[in-house]
Structure 1
């Protein structure tokens, strides 16, 4: 899927505001994002909860308020979310269709999410989870690291 990039200069107060406004509306219209600049009282009744949530994010007056709203929406720390993250982290297996780098990045992302819910299992346990997530093609590496002694899993 191709994305189109639009270049519109920031409004500096010296150019024609009406012309600048038309350009902004055109871009938002093409991206089906005109609701971002629509009065909330005039939102269509058919608006879904997800669409309303997106608009609420965009409608924050300061960067701090936006940051708080994003944390509130996406950093959900309820019991269900914690259980889901724990299960995904502890049962993670690398994807054979992805590169090793992409797999390691995915593991690191899961690890950071796991830590964000307040759980810390320690580096040694995390290393064992990573080791167990390796693909079958790394069987010899896994065996060597598991049974070559305590020092092989410690930081050098």
Structure 2
């Protein structure tokens, strides 16, 4: 699949878990994930060429991330020092890994009921998403 044809819906502050996964796939496909994830850090770049490549990839990744967000979410990353920092800020803001949040997710998982007339597959996907959020590493 051509990289230019990859389209995901813009992140509007809801369903971060799904958006994060899709963004990771886009960034991996564009060979930018290692910069965003922190696998490669600026300090590890020994030559000027490596440093220039890192900066270029970080700027590209930042553009990809920001262009996949609604305007209302941009203040969260606007002052980030780079793509890795922006990604960390989003994770910190939307993936609250506190005990209270885990309990909240657990309660939502066990109390989610399918309403009459709801689509079965939609309900199953909602439960799978909650389960994935509960299983997410801390």
TM-score (norm 1): 0.38
Larger radius of gyration: 1
Larger RCO, structure (CA 8 Å, separation 6 or more): 2
TM-score (norm 2): 0.42
